[in-house]
Homo-oligomer: A and B are copies of this chain.
């Protein structure tokens, strides 16, 4: 690279002063609001900046692209969900079989109740950002965890079960029923009957 290349560092910047932190936060909050209210492709960066009460220039000081902005919001959302998930599943994996399943289901529902509307937008509308890979990673982690759990409790399962296939089925079922609740019946996210039914589906399938 010749000397003329000024190394134009990409416009990503780390906020330091409290004022800047507030700006970043306002932008993320506004992004969430607009995404939920208007949908992904009506959520233009200009509109987001306006809703956040900052100029479009400020937005691009902290996020190098719209994609990066949405990805950052996604990270924050996933982080919040993970905290709930881990808190609710910390001590139960050695609990009695049925109770362990129940707690995991309960945790999934609670995690998705953090911000169901935003979650719905991510699931339904946000395009194949590179971040989709991250979702796949989470998915794969869940699959491995489930697989290990089933292996560990092998003696309590009905015989003849293909553990690989069974873990795929179980993970997909719990996730999917949770998502179905998010999309169509958000009222069920906090309903104990939902927890019981999903637990029954899984336990009856496995034992």
Question: Is A176 at the interface (CB under 8 A from chain B)?
Answer: yes
Q: What is the chain B residue whose CB lies nearest that of A177?
A: B172
Question: Is A11 at the interface (CB under 8 A from chain B)?
Answer: no
Shortest A198–chain B CB gap in Å is 7
Contacts of A150-207 to chain B: CB distance below 8 A:
162, 165-166, 168-169, 172-173, 175-177, 179-180, 184-185, 193-194, 197-198, 200-201, 204-205
Contact in complex: B40, A127 (CB < 8 Å)? yes
A-B contact pairs, 30 of them (CB 8 A): A39-B127, A39-B128, A41-B41, A41-B127, A125-B127, A139-B184, A162-B193, A165-B193, A165-B197, A166-B197, A168-B180, A168-B185, A169-B197, A169-B198, A172-B176, A172-B177, A172-B180, A172-B184, A173-B173, A173-B176, A173-B177, A175-B180, A176-B176, A176-B177, A176-B179, A176-B180, A200-B205, A201-B201, A201-B205, A204-B204
